[in-house]
Structure 1
């Protein structure tokens, strides 16, 4: 392919031929990168049929005109079938087609016919903005707690936070006038490989992580004599105590323990008769889940089967015997015939998880929490999970997603997540995106989209090349925003976009116009001179937070524990970096202290020099008051900061060096909400949120 044709083909595929890096320099892609990315797209960009007058999908947003421009002239007639079944017809002559006005929001089917030829298009009519709860639309200032579910301790869990603990956290937060409980991604991971615990590299984003099932609340576990005999054994009690008391989540231990119990419960469930309401509910769940649920359960059962028969752990499906790598192959079909009960078991686990999670959301509604549960949608899936195993066309397995080099990461980042081909998304009328949104907007009042820039573009890294040798691939932003708004309104689920880092200016305003809430972290809300923003200068349409799972806790930040940890872990490439980081941190802490005093969140009598001010509950309270006074509509707080913990959840850039995604909270839920200091802090947060709302009404 000659250079000009290569450029045209790459551009049609969505590959950006040039981009501006973090230092303001324009970069031009090399031929090799273009070729490798086109190859990763399985040739679709080259072979795409563009001869018809209609695209596979057409999205109209808000007040968009119903006049459509065709890709070529047509002399024939059209039929439009609304989602509800109403039909419209008309003639078309030329390259423009005017549809009826007043077309309702929804998914409609457009058909063009000319001399025996027929073309079809999914026509999506979408609202202009995403859903906002009445309390938000009325100008309320809401707060909630954001938790990594697995970190929760309680008197009753089995060594990991579960949906029973989530119910306790919802009750405690609701009683303190909190509007929501925010969760880490709770997507399906890998039951046969529980040590793969990162919630941001899931097997599937359509189903739930079954390790969060509250086994003690499963009726068939309680009613099973076999299960109760196991439960009463001294070795069972001893193992449970070990799992509960551990400061870190023992994922393999917890999963093995829970699966033992759930297998007993499954044997009890199988004895239920066909006229049992629970059996009917399970069958309805399986039918509604359809092929996606069957594939999820099949993958988990097959992964378990293969690992039980191998000396070495088979982590990714790419390591399985070749006969099992094809989900439609004879070996997999034979497995389905031989082990239908094991597949049904994993479907049953998803049913249990879904029922328990739904019960948590219904509890939040009974407590009149305006949002209730706020979920987190990971930016992608792991390369070795069920989604990539079952859909090779959608996922580009010879590329991965990451970030280009910037000042914080001079080498760039490779997240090891295979990207979805935007051309396939268009070809399928955004069906995969729609299904994913529906799966994640279910049972919650808000959805946070991790790395919301993925609606506009993703940094693709071809093959095994360095992260800096990638390119931006564009996604159909306007169409995706329209679909997001439509599903948000239908599911009554507001949307928050994680927009940290370098944000292209062309997307910022469009996200705000679409009703997507921004994400503002205290540490990054700085003026040009290095000072911290005043509370009333925070963005209104946003969720403000003190910190996140990838950053230091408040106490850790103030005491520079995160920097000291980085030094101990050997994360700094030279000896000079650590002293420089400490010096910068001292300046940051002083700037933050200055702002606390100016904002009247801390009395100057406490001290005006950060290097002479020890960490204390009073300082912690001042920081919470400061962020609670922010102008932002939403506020998310971490229980780690209520408890003044120092160690972070996750240290980016590490794997085995630090126990990422394993550190638990320092205290049990029952103790947290009984603590006078926590109660005092949450009372102050409520007062400041009310004050922020009053200040907004005065403007």
Structure 2
């Protein structure tokens, strides 16, 4: 492909309304393959660092790279061979002679994927060093997923550790009346214990490198996980328990060793028994503005937020501020068939209207809106003043940490992810409505951030 063709494809990908992962991946891999050819000929400090990285990471890294190389070849031959269960049988076992032969015959491909891992690690470490140079108290904030891909390298290499006849998810609740099936095989708690928790320890150590905070997705998984039998719907699942006290003790130890704070995503169905355990272990809680209200829709006062928490308006699984206020998530959910019937949907709309009024009352009560702003939620549309007021509310909170989303600075309506969906919605493909350079050059965005920073500092002084 000519350079001009690459440039055209890149321009089209940038101009597209949604992220085109296939095109972007093809462009990046072409460029990286060219760069690898040059790097492979080097004999300098960079090559020495690469080789040392490969040696330090051992078998775990090697078999990840071997998987990537084999997967790339299989998908090239047949795009339906997505994940090792769809490969020819001779490649489905990591210990097979055919897999060993492939690694020998395609050593350059395996090395290429080892190099990609080193590049990612090195660039992430460089970002961490820069953040520390600026004396950022947290710097980088990493995310630990709740599970692994069913057909990925982890299950290919360690079939015993994962229960491939089940998938984790969530039972039916107000956010997902049909329940959620995440399509991720759970770790077997008996195997974790039998191995003296080594898989869990290695997971934490890998993810606590080069960062000041680690977010653990669905932190309740340390107590229990909703297991769904293969082929069944989410409402047919059941809870399977894990050795929570041991896991939290290990988490606290690794957090101390790595000087890495832990934030637990504790939303959804949260059993009472784990709340105190997380708090005493030093895990920071998530406090989402939308959920901080009682049955009468009276919202928690900013000063009543627990200090050991991170206050956020929303998350990647929830509607943006505009989406919430306009009930766009409910309208979209109806279109996608996420609700069992009209009765449930009607109840959600009514609940949202009550919540909006309670939230608007709280914004006025705690001085987050000018007095001239409207007092009746049903007559009030989303405006820059209301958007700012909602973000002021969490900025004024007693929470030690504050999380803000660029899509709310940009007043976007579309969600980036809808839990429980796959083909129904273009999850993780929605772009920001402005580039980072444009966003941070915007007077409105900068004015908003200065206002929130000022209020945040004032709130801290009052503690």
Alpha-carbon distance in 2 for matches of 1:309, 1:684: 55
Alpha-carbon distance in 2 for matches of 1:298, 1:495: 32
1:267-324 CA distance string (max 9 Å, x none): 1112213xx11110110010011001001000000011122223x5201211111110
Alpha-carbon distance in 2 for matches of 1:404, 1:262: 42
Q: CA deviation at 1:506?
A: 1.4
2:11 to 241, 255, 266: 241
What corresponds to 2:57 in structure 1?
289
RMSD: 1.5
2:24 to 244, 254, 261: 254
Is the alpha carbon distance of 1:657 and 1:401 closer, same or farther for their aligned partners in structure 2, counting shifts above 3 Å? closer
Alpha-carbon distance in 2 for matches of 1:467, 1:365: 43
1:592-621 CA distance string (max 9 Å, x none): 110000001112311111122232111111
What corresponds to 1:651 in structure 2?
418
Q: How does 1:297-696 map to 2 (within 5 A)?
A: 297-310=65-78, 312-696=79-463
1:73-127 CA distance string (max 9 Å, x none): xxxxxxxxxxxxxxxxxxxxxxxxxxxxxxxxxxxxxxxxxxxxxxxxxxxxxxx
Is the alpha carbon distance of 1:599 and 1:478 closer, same or farther for their aligned partners in structure 2, counting shifts above 3 Å? same
> Secondary structure at the residue paired with 2:126?
helix
Q: Is the 8 A contact 1:624 1:681 kept in 2?
A: no
Query: Could you state the TM-score of these two structures normalised by the residue count of structure 1?
Result: 0.65
Alpha-carbon distance in 1 for matches of 2:434, 2:344: 35
Alpha-carbon distance in 1 for matches of 2:286, 2:343: 33
Q: How does 1:33-52 map to 2 (within 5 A)?
A: none
Q: How does 1:117-156 map to 2 (within 5 A)?
A: none
Q: CA deviation at 1:578?
A: 4.0
Q: Is the 8 A contact 2:182 2:420 kept in 1?
A: no
Alpha-carbon distance in 2 for matches of 1:456, 1:695: 36
> Secondary structure at the residue paired with 1:604?
coil
> Secondary structure at the residue paired with 2:386?
helix
Alpha-carbon distance in 2 for matches of 1:372, 1:296: 28
Give the number of the structure whose alpha-carbon radius of gyration is greater.
Answer: 1
1:432-490 CA distance string (max 9 Å, x none): 11111111111110001111111111122233334333332221111111111111111
Alpha-carbon distance in 1 for matches of 2:10, 2:234: 43
Q: CA deviation at 1:572?
A: 3.2
> Secondary structure at the residue paired with 2:441?
coil
Alpha-carbon distance in 2 for matches of 1:451, 1:605: 41
Alpha-carbon distance in 2 for matches of 1:567, 1:542: 33
Alpha-carbon distance in 1 for matches of 2:42, 2:337: 57
Alpha-carbon distance in 1 for matches of 2:212, 2:248: 18
Q: Is the 8 A contact 1:293 1:347 kept in 2?
A: yes
1:511-550 CA distance string (max 9 Å, x none): 1111100011000000232111110111110011000111
Query: Could you state the TM-score of these two structures normalised by the residue count of structure 2?
Result: 0.97
1:267 to 17, 21, 37: 37
Q: Is the 8 A contact 2:178 2:338 kept in 1?
A: no
Alpha-carbon distance in 2 for matches of 1:522, 1:277: 50
Q: CA deviation at 1:409?
A: 4.0
Which has a greater percent of strand? 1
- Structure 1 residue runs without a partner (length 5+): 1-229
1:169-190 CA distance string (max 9 Å, x none): xxxxxxxxxxxxxxxxxxxxxx
1:34-78 CA distance string (max 9 Å, x none): xxxxxxxxxxxxxxxxxxxxxxxxxxxxxxxxxxxxxxxxxxxxx
Alpha-carbon distance in 1 for matches of 2:348, 2:247: 40
Q: Is the 8 A contact 1:402 1:460 kept in 2?
A: yes
Alpha-carbon distance in 2 for matches of 1:508, 1:491: 24
The structure with higher relative contact order (CA 8 Å, sep 6+) is: 1
Q: How does 1:64-143 map to 2 (within 5 A)?
A: none
Alpha-carbon distance in 1 for matches of 2:388, 2:200: 41
What corresponds to 1:278 in structure 2?
46
> Secondary structure at the residue paired with 1:393?
coil
Q: CA deviation at 1:576?
A: 4.3
Q: CA deviation at 1:560?
A: 1.7
Q: Is the 8 A contact 2:177 2:339 kept in 1?
A: no
Q: CA deviation at 1:257?
A: 0.6
> Secondary structure at the residue paired with 2:402?
strand
